Amino acid sequence: MRTVSVAGDRVAILLEGNDTNHQYTVMEALLPPGGGPPPHLHHREDETFLVLAGEVTFYVGDSVTVLKKGGFIFAPREIPHHFRNTGSGEAMLLESAFPAGIEKFFAAAGKNLPDRNAQPLEFGREDIEHMIAIAPSFGVEILTKEKT
């Protein structure tokens, strides 16, 4: 298992493509208050998100959905989406992507953490520029306008 800090969140890659015959990826994400990725879309993967703890607001296309523990949502490829921890404490998500491959983007865009208990690192200007620069090679498009 690999754990990275990406976009200010901690992502533990629980199952990667090599573990699933490249059918899907499963990740656990820890989002600090206000945490979450920038608006983006995937050209290759569909995603699902299960809220394990906290409160997370999902923006998928034109829909805004607030989910708490047990809430589940689907984000299809080619549809802009992002999410924010809108609760007062940390939030935890179980993310799946179909087919596998997005874990390679997270690994390339993020910074390695020692383990699944480490806190995420601050996401600075250089990190954002790096993410935007490499995203297209992974079939990801980082969008510049955010809906909040």
110 is a domain residue: yes
Give residue-wise pLDDT tens across range 37-58: 999 999 999 999 999 999 999 9
143 is a domain residue: no
pLDDT at 132 over 60: yes
| pLDDT band at residue 148 using 50, 70 and 90 as cut-offs | very low
Higher pLDDT, 123 or 65: 65
The whole-number pLDDT of residue 30 equals 97
Q: How many domains does the chain have?
A: 1
Contact 47, 11 (CB under 8 A): no
Give residue-wise pLDDT tens across range 85-127: 999 999 999 999 999 999 999 999 999 999 999 988 888 888 8
144 is a domain residue: no
116: three-class secondary structure by DSSP: coil
The whole-number pLDDT of residue 1 equals 87
Domain housing 110: 2-114+124-138
User: What's the CATH number where 59 sits?
Assistant: 2.60.120.10
125: three-class secondary structure by DSSP: helix
Handedness of CA 144, 75, 51, 59 (dihedral sign): positive
47 is a domain residue: yes
| pLDDT band at residue 146 using 50, 70 and 90 as cut-offs | very low
Give residue-wise pLDDT tens across range 2-28: 999 999 999 999 999 999 999 999 999
146 is a domain residue: no
119 is a domain residue: no
76 is a domain residue: yes
147 is a domain residue: no
Mean pLDDT (the chain, rounded): 94
| pLDDT band at residue 147 using 50, 70 and 90 as cut-offs | very low
